[in-house]
Structure 1
């Protein structure tokens, strides 16, 4: 998903997802498995260092332990892409996001990251 305020960070996440998915196919039949963990907002120092604590994007940040548990369970189940740490409201949005017009999507993501949007 594009993000107008963290372009390099989100581009890196897109690269990691694309690379993991391609690598999964390349190692078929070798006994090697590949899973890509795609966490939502987590309760880490990144929130404070990035001055994001007052943003809507991090209003429901989850623990790193919860994300790690979901990632491990997904990997054991053989899932390719594991989305962890999303709220019930965020899950349908993430499913729909690829189908939404990019300009509308970026405007919404931008608003979620504006300072004070958590109110």
Structure 2
């Protein structure tokens, strides 16, 4: 029997990454999944069965060692990675000058450094085979200066830009790069970022399963980017003609903690 194609999904324990892992399994792929929490083991048990094979790793993708451990696991299977979904990410709410720098550094190292390093390792293999698909989870936050989320928004601006550049570099190489740019989505993000006491944290949110579905379809179609949801599309178009200071002021209203807003 011919082996199923292999998909590697990071941040797969919850939210959009979990939905991506389910989609890959449902649409004919075996899986390598990773996250920095033990729940990844339960997800692997859930998805494993029938023809679906799943290999999981609990690792910290904000570190070079964590990225390398994940890559070694995939390489040890002696099978090519057909799809890379670089979804692992971390948020951080609050005023920049009040944040602990270790927490700031972890956001940057997870969202930017870890994503870039894993993409380079896997992307080189794909380029040598002239086959493969990469999806990088950016955000519409990358279009907006993020008052009270300054580092997170900056990291997503990097990823949106990086993905577009890499897609162009690999044009004609047999490897596609898709940037998924969702808006506010119903995941663990706001709890983990300490933002449940914000307007954004309490707002109506997009369904992660639908976000992942649109992203997966765009990936398989070879599209370079997708903004999910008509309201997010409208926001990104508006952001491109709105002064940065005004965008920052609007984000202040969404992301300022309640206690600070009242003071």
Structure with greater contact order relative to length (CA < 8 Å, sep ≥ 6): 1
Q: Match of 2:168, SS?
A: helix
2:168 maps to which residue?
25
Task: Report the number of matched residues.
Answer: 115
Matches within 5 A, 1:1-119: 1-58=144-201, 59-84=203-228, 86=229, 88-115=230-257
Greater share of strand: 2
1:75 counterpart SS class: helix
- How far the C-alpha of 1:99 sits from its partner, in A, is 0.9
Task: Indicate the RMSD between aligned Cα atoms, in angstroms.
Answer: 2.0
Deviations 1:80-108 (CA, angstroms, capped at 9, x unpaired): 11112x4x444322211121011111101
CA contact (8 A) 2:149 2:255 kept: no
Q: Structure 1: which 5+ runs fail to align?
A: none
- Summarize deviations over 1:25-80 as a string: whole Å, max 9, x none: 11111111010011111222222233433433241212322211110011223321
Q: For the structure 1 residues 57 and 91, does the alpha-carbon distance in structure 2 shift closer, same or farther, using more than 3 Å as the test?
A: farther
Shift of 1:17: 1.0
Q: For residues 180 and 234 of structure 2, what CA distance do their matches in structure 1 show?
A: 18
Cα distance change, pair 11–49 in 1 and its aligned pair in 2 (3 A): same
SS in structure 2 at match of 1:94 = helix
SS at match of 1:100: coil
Larger Rg: 2
Residue 110 of structure 1: how far off its partner (Å): 0.8
The 3 A distance-change label for structure 1 pair 29 and 110 is: same
In structure 2, the gaps of 5 or more residues are: 1-143
